[in-house]
Chains A and B, each alone.
Chain A
Amino acid sequence: MDTEMKDLEKIAPELSKLKNENPFRVPEGYFDDFAARLQSKIEAEQVVVPSKKSTIIRYLKPAIGLAAGFALIFSLAYWPLKSLTPKQVAKNNTIEMDINDMLFASAVEAIDVNSFYELLEKPANAEQLSDDDVAAYVKNNVSEYEIYSATNGN
């Protein structure tokens, strides 16, 4: 016995009055069947040993879930926000001109102001087209198939 235990009476008289007996009990036969119970638990655990693959997936699952969450948030937040950036707003507000508009615009630009007014003041029927002119135009510019399609389409 160590000196500390022998000297207990001197340093702690109240404590040394107590018998250091064990106040705890166990159920009857507890230690007799503990090893068998433990063995069953070990065997049960060995049956349900997870495969390496499923273990890897189990570890990766939170990371995959997190990545998917970020992707969703990104797609929901990024595109609406992107359309509000100054560059994008400017781009959206630009009038897009197709090639026909551009040709028309350049043709109008090419006409000088006097010719333009002259054109506006000129009566619409100033130059009457004869039936022969129309027939000649149609013959040269429109195919039979287009005429057939146009008449049957209506």
Chain B
Amino acid sequence: MENDDHGLLELLKHDHTKGQAFQTLVKTYQERLYWHIRKIVLNHDDADDVLQNTFMKVWRNLDKFREESSLYTWLYRIATNESITFVNSVKKRSLIPMNDTTEFLLQNMISDEFFEGDEIQVRLQEAILKLPEKQRIVFNMKYFDDMKYEDMSEILETSVGALKASFHHAVKKIEDHLKNRD
């Protein structure tokens, strides 16, 4: 992947190959980034908007990418920031307290025709939604995508130790939520 990205980055630097190389980049990363975003924003239409915004930002800032991190890390970082910005904008727009925001996002997910989870899946998503923002992202990346802590550390710019602690706290809180189902 790193070698492929290196070749792609070379093509992205030249005007006559940039367009085609960007198409390749989108096709390579669209699915992984979509699922990363979807688990944060939950609704398909919102995830589609955020994914488009993510790639638009990548396109506009290609010249600024200094290759200090890998392309994969850079893309995930932009996708994460765009997702957080979206969730915060929902909170600001609705002007509702934190608990109600959780409820709003949960109902938004349940009413989405592209959500097929059963009752226990809804309960799990509810528990995840109640987590603080950072713990929520760490839990999703580890539990659903089984991402390495080293990769997460680069994307989230957080130490491996802090990420492990965040995941541990998140698991404990979710377990409590699932146990107290009545």
Interface residues of A in 1-36 (CB under 8 A from B): 1-2, 4-5, 8, 11-15, 18, 20, 22-27, 30-31, 34-35
A39 CB-CB contact with B under 8 Å: yes
> Counting chain B CB atoms within 10 Å of each CB, which of A4, A5, A8, A24 scores highest?
A24
Residues B168-182 near A (CB distance < 8 A) = 168, 171-172, 174-175, 178-179
Within 8 A of A (CB), among B10-58: 23, 26-27, 30-31, 34-35, 38-39, 42, 44, 48, 51-52, 55-56
Is B91 an interface position by the 8 A CB rule? no
Which residue of B has the minimal Cβ distance to A1? B146
A38 at the interface (CB under 8 A from B): yes
Is B175 in contact with A5, judged by CB distance below 8 angstroms? no
Q: Which of A5, A18, A23, A38 contacts B52 (CB 8 A)?
A: A38
Contact between chains at B31 and A12 (CB < 8 Å): no
Chain A hits for B56, CB < 8 A:
38, 41-42, 45
Question: With A and B bound together, what is the CA distance between A22 and B148 in angstroms?
Answer: 19
Find chain A residues with CB under 8 A from B174 CB. 12, 15
Query: Chain B binding site: helix, strand, loop or mixed by DSSP?
Result: helix
Complex partner residue of A31 from B31, B146, B149, CB under 8 angstroms: B31
Bound Cα distance from A27 to B44, whole angstroms: 9
Q: Which of B118-173 contact A (CB under 8 A)?
A: 118, 120-121, 124-125, 142-144, 146, 148-149, 164, 167-168, 171-172
**How many angstroms between the C-alpha atoms of A18 and B125 in the bound complex?**
12
Q: Which residue of A lies closest to B175 (CB)?
A: A12
State whether B35 touches A22 (Cβ < 8 A): yes
Of B1-9, B75-83, B92-100, B109-117, which stretch is located at the interface? B109-117
Q: Number of A-B pairs whose CB atoms are under 8 Å?
A: 84
A24 to B41, CA, bound (A): 12
Asked whether B59 is an interface residue with its Cβ less than 8 Å from the other chain, the reply is yes
- Interface 0/1 of A85-110, CB less than 8 Å to B: 00000000000000000000000000
Quick check: B44 and A24 within 8 Å, CB to CB? yes
Contact A14 B52 (CB under 8 A): no
Known: A20-B143, A22-B35. A31 touches B114 (CB 8 A): no
> Which A residues have a C-beta under 8 Å from some C-beta of B?
1-2, 4-5, 8, 11-15, 18, 20, 22-27, 30-31, 34-35, 37-39, 41-42, 45
| Pairs A-B, 6 closest by C-beta atoms | A23-B117, A12-B175, A14-B178, A23-B121, A25-B114, A35-B26
On B, residues with C-beta under 8 Å from A are 23, 26-27, 30-31, 34-35, 38-39, 42, 44, 48, 51-52, 55-56, 59, 114-118, 120-121, 124-125, 142-144, 146, 148-149, 164, 167-168, 171-172, 174-175, 178-179
